[in-house]
Structure 1
């Protein structure tokens, strides 16, 4: 049975569960990101792994810029490698089994960190191994969610990946502040060790969810693909073959899979000009890079250190405030990205984020925040308002686009390349930020502010509006020579006056189906069905009627 209806179309509870469960991959990433900024300030961690001029006196212990940068950033090198390996893994094993195996890799990395005693290089290598799992998951999870979720709520369900990233960061902050008073190495081992729980939940739970119908279709397993579609729609499996919406969607997926099966799919195909494949590869890589260059991880990786430098007595508490703002504002992002599409929120978000980073950098540059409490407070407020904009636009929006912009044949590889570019910039920022901050202090914010402006420009001139379309129709839109990014919001498949007309006709087909079922039970009749919507739903390769 359907859990609820959106635009008259059924949505099953499985669609919600698979999105939430797969999003544990984002939680793992967020937890690992959030924990390190606090761990590097813990007394026992400093005594074991930092350089101390007086052994046993934590007040004389400090990390060199290089050592701190490596401990923080080696996770990102692992994720970069993992993201590239995640594509062939997801294509070979399937989306579910790939995620389960990647959870095992993450757990191995956590164990290596827990077994570290006095060699900081071992702890850093453990973060690298965990990063392999995180990176592969970051490529697989948004792709799985986009390929499996009903188009009507695809934006919301895919955005839960970012929501869980923010939840993971917040939980890491809360556990860190609770564990910092634990005796000895327990202060940081508790924080690291709890990280094993999250991949266990994902690795085991995902095996009970349906496989991606697009992956099944590519591997010539259409009966299973139809069952997967039926489960996410909350439609009895035995009715899937006759259900007008499911039948049209399955036929479109199968036709697309048969067409793409004629071509071999390798990494080189991601860079071919035909069908705007190269265009979309470069667009995905650019957007993922610009998401890092918004400056969000400047606060998440080094937030405790930043706010300690502006005179905050307990920087751990400030981290929790930032984490809470990030998490709760992401709920707004779920609504914004579904209600207003993809382009408009990203453009507005880029301008908003830029403005508050200019405030942050200007305040920190004008006066020494450590000597001026009001300047410090202004910087915290501006950082929170920046996070508000990021959490509602660029944070969820880019992960949604990575799942729905690319064609099925090369989606895994293009998604991996885009995600790898995210992790490359993640590493560069994590490693070089201590050097840059030491040189230019809070003027670093001006760099990020400029990058946010660039992001808004790139979205306006190059990104197509992909909301309310099936993945097959998104591909059709990108290959339509008459459609331009700034006019794409008005684009609709052939046979429809507008995108709203497309939605209404598919909704009408679903209503007719319900009337027919009711009529079969003897309660009403369906003699008035005009067949117009059904005609659009079954017109073959054009796939009209899908949404």
Structure 2
């Protein structure tokens, strides 16, 4: 039978929809300086004026990140990838609904953000779903597409903050916060139309269903050679993976198949990503830029940052499959480190002290503020192209099926744990050292460059099973771009050996 030409149209639509269920972490940045929000959830100073202290900002912001990225590991295998997304979408939606309906209780606000964070963290497992359903040549692009949708959500939140911040009532912050309900409801309503992961179905011995899903995702007939070969390849790899029995959390750190290296790499990339510095701008940009002396509204600056983030993620859709993972990470580390160093030093030596009246700012102060903002924009743009999507792509494609939910959960939990710490401590640190906080991110980016060069292999163009083989081969990360897989050859050799044994056994029975 002639091989059909894959169209991948169904897979593209699937990736677009599943990515649409993204969430918004930037909306709270604008809310922190809205008068009505401060009046409801702030504290009273000695003069009777309401304000949000750095500690209260920390609690409000960071609790969204204290949720349950580990949760999806307990639901993905038991309820399937689709079922897991449904459960955590519901939890996220409930948390957002409570948050939007909060009147004046700081306790209700923070608890509802924690509940929403449970869903947000576990929905990081969407990368597990996208990684398992995407054709290998498009897997990186599809995972970047998910990141793009998140960034679009951020941009929309900044636009809404700009549009509503002048309102004198609670609609100024309830509207942008409540918009997150759209994302949750989109997943809740649409998840029933999504197919289950073919790898998960094969792991449950539901071969017919897996075959149908693979055919649909590639846009070819169910009996096409491409589908047959893909099912055989996946089944072969799954059988080898499952030979060791049921996976445990400890296996994620086992020396077998270099699992500890893979888990460490996934967690380290998420750790480094969170200390790149970009989330400092996302979370506290409005507050930070308000003291920079610029004539631009901090809301306008956030919209600019959001727009730059969207524009930056678009070329990443191509670069992730042309430049590859390693080159993207190395390039991004250099560019962002330069931006963080310049912005930190310029801000420290030229900005006026926080709280200085606008009419007392010198020309040098204003130039320093403009320079800091310019390099903040370049920093965020570089992050969106390179370090924003790439660690998630890498996390989604680095593990065998048997431990994939647990390993991805560990990487996601690392991301959200450090996101929480950044959100909690950043305003306190910035209150003490100001723009010099950016030098902390500079140091982390220098470390990140070294770590990627020494420990992160290239996974571009490999199937998930070939990634598994590459790690087991022991290839040095700097030599990995030229590494070639022998998985198909091994599968065919094993099949030939089995056929030869069957022939010998048949001949022996005939002679007897």
Common topology (TM > 0.5): yes
- Determine the C-alpha separation between the residues in 1 that align with 2:6 and 2:130: 17
Answer whether contact 2:233 2:491 (CA < 8 A) is retained. Answer: no
Residue in structure 1 matched with residue 10 of structure 2 by the alignment? 14
> Shift of the alpha carbon at 1:9?
5.2
SS of residue in 1 equivalent to 2:6: strand
Give yes or no for the alignment of 1:173 onto 2:126.
no
List per-residue Cα deviations over 1:15-68 (Å, max 9, x = no partner): 01111111124x21xx2x11100011111111111013489x7xx221122111
Residue in structure 2 matched with residue 364 of structure 1 by the alignment? 347
Residue in structure 1 matched with residue 324 of structure 2 by the alignment? 341
Give yes or no for the alignment of 1:407 onto 2:400.
yes
Give yes or no for the alignment of 1:113 onto 2:106.
no
Q: Give 1:114-133 correspondences, 5 Å limit.
A: 114-133=100-119
- Determine the C-alpha separation between the residues in 1 that align with 2:221 and 2:294: 58
Answer whether contact 1:147 1:214 (CA < 8 A) is retained. Answer: yes
Answer whether contact 1:330 1:392 (CA < 8 A) is retained. Answer: yes
Q: Give the alignment's TM-score, normalised by structure 2.
A: 0.91
Give yes or no for the alignment of 1:68 onto 2:49.
no
> Shift of the alpha carbon at 1:536?
5.9
1:48 to 40, 45, 51: 40
- Determine the C-alpha separation between the residues in 2 that align with 1:541 and 1:126: 55
1:270 to 240, 244, 252: 252
Residue in structure 2 matched with residue 152 of structure 1 by the alignment? 137
Residue in structure 2 matched with residue 98 of structure 1 by the alignment? 84
- Determine the C-alpha separation between the residues in 2 that align with 1:88 and 1:486: 35
Residue in structure 1 matched with residue 481 of structure 2 by the alignment? 489
Answer whether contact 1:248 1:537 (CA < 8 A) is retained. Answer: no
- Determine the C-alpha separation between the residues in 1 that align with 2:99 and 2:489: 57
RMSD: 1.9
- Determine the C-alpha separation between the residues in 2 that align with 1:77 and 1:47: 25
SS of residue in 1 equivalent to 2:473: coil
Q: Give the alignment's TM-score, normalised by structure 1.
A: 0.85
Answer whether contact 2:127 2:396 (CA < 8 A) is retained. Answer: yes
Q: Post-superposition, which runs of at least 4 consecutive aligned residues in structure 1 deviate over 3 A?
A: 535-538, 540-543
Q: Give 1:322-333 correspondences, 5 Å limit.
A: 322-333=305-316
Give yes or no for the alignment of 1:293 onto 2:275.
yes
Give yes or no for the alignment of 1:190 onto 2:175.
yes
Answer whether contact 2:241 2:400 (CA < 8 A) is retained. Answer: no
- Determine the C-alpha separation between the residues in 2 that align with 1:291 and 1:427: 13
List per-residue Cα deviations over 1:479-504 (Å, max 9, x = no partner): 003x1111011111239xxxxxxxxx
> Shift of the alpha carbon at 1:339?
0.9
Residue in structure 2 matched with residue 522 of structure 1 by the alignment? none
Q: Give 1:137-148 correspondences, 5 Å limit.
A: 137-138=123-124, 140-148=125-133
Answer whether contact 2:351 2:366 (CA < 8 A) is retained. Answer: no
Residue in structure 2 matched with residue 252 of structure 1 by the alignment? 233
Answer whether contact 2:215 2:221 (CA < 8 A) is retained. Answer: yes
> Shift of the alpha carbon at 1:156?
0.4
Residue in structure 2 matched with residue 501 of structure 1 by the alignment? none
- Determine the C-alpha separation between the residues in 2 that align with 1:153 and 1:179: 39
Answer whether contact 1:18 1:206 (CA < 8 A) is retained. Answer: no
> Shift of the alpha carbon at 1:325?
0.3
Aligned positions, number: 482
Answer whether contact 1:252 1:540 (CA < 8 A) is retained. Answer: no
- Determine the C-alpha separation between the residues in 2 that align with 1:122 and 1:389: 37
Unaligned runs of 5+ in 2: 353-360, 497-512
Residue in structure 1 matched with residue 492 of structure 2 by the alignment? 539
> Shift of the alpha carbon at 1:363?
0.4
Give yes or no for the alignment of 1:316 onto 2:299.
yes
Answer whether contact 1:255 1:541 (CA < 8 A) is retained. Answer: no
- Determine the C-alpha separation between the residues in 1 that align with 2:35 and 2:494: 64
Give yes or no for the alignment of 1:209 onto 2:194.
yes
Answer whether contact 1:275 1:479 (CA < 8 A) is retained. Answer: yes
> Shift of the alpha carbon at 1:542?
8.9
Residue in structure 1 matched with residue 473 of structure 2 by the alignment? 480
Distance 1:205 1:346, change over 3 A: same
Q: Give 1:458-469 correspondences, 5 Å limit.
A: 458-469=451-462
Unaligned runs of 5+ in 1: 496-534
SS of residue in 1 equivalent to 2:70: helix
Residue in structure 2 matched with residue 504 of structure 1 by the alignment? none
Residue in structure 2 matched with residue 503 of structure 1 by the alignment? none
SS of residue in 2 equivalent to 1:408: coil
- Determine the C-alpha separation between the residues in 2 that align with 1:206 and 1:18: 10
Give yes or no for the alignment of 1:89 onto 2:70.
no
- Determine the C-alpha separation between the residues in 2 that align with 1:356 and 1:380: 10
- Determine the C-alpha separation between the residues in 2 that align with 1:309 and 1:415: 39
